[in-house]
Chain A
């Protein structure tokens, strides 16, 4: 398996534009997580899905952020409109339940810069 695949790897956009980040989880993993990483706040959980259903979106910072998982092999995180403070690295992770343990596998991340 190629692991968790995120695209794009880098995104530079102007303030006010819509940004869509994409994630393909590992086949067979039934949970998917979106994280945001910044120097100030570290690794923050934004939202997670279980069997394609959003379970906890309490980490989503504002209504400008939305996430979808239309099927088991694809998820998107959308920011509309984007703002400079959204600049961060966004990670997607999928998890495998192994003997009751949550093993998370991360993608390479998308570095977002909003100017």
Chain B
């Protein structure tokens, strides 16, 4: 089955700086890579996703990149704000078309 690894497990940045979270996956059949944000006391919420036929996607301060050859994808948050502090999860759909999640990254944006 699919295996997704996520790094780092914790990340602290100063407000206004950029944050980058990286994931690798094992199943070459994966073609969908969503990112979820989990705020304290809430369930994970989809914030952005990318398909395998696209190398990069942007939505305001958030961008995702995908390198299918290397089987890795990344989340980039620019101009970070305190409300960006949360746990972020990457995921890949695998050949079974069910999501396998990474272990999560606790992002803290310091004011």
Which A residues lie at the B interface, using CB under 8 A?
A: 4, 31, 33, 42-43, 45, 48, 56, 91, 93, 95, 100-109
Contact = CB atoms under 8 A, between A and B. Distances in A.
A101 to B, nearest CB: 5
Contacts, number: 50
Nearest to A39: B104
Nearest first, the 8 closest Cβ-Cβ pairs linking A and B are A106-B43, A42-B103, A43-B101, A101-B32, A106-B44, A109-B43, A108-B43, A102-B93
Interface of B: 32, 34, 36, 41-46, 49, 51, 89, 91, 93, 96-104
Contacts of B51: 101
A48 B96 CA distance: 12
Given A95-B99, A102-B98, 16 more contacts: A33-B98, A43-B44, A43-B89, A43-B101, A43-B104, A45-B98, A45-B100, A45-B101, A56-B96, A100-B32, A101-B32, A101-B93, A102-B93, A103-B34, A105-B46, A107-B43
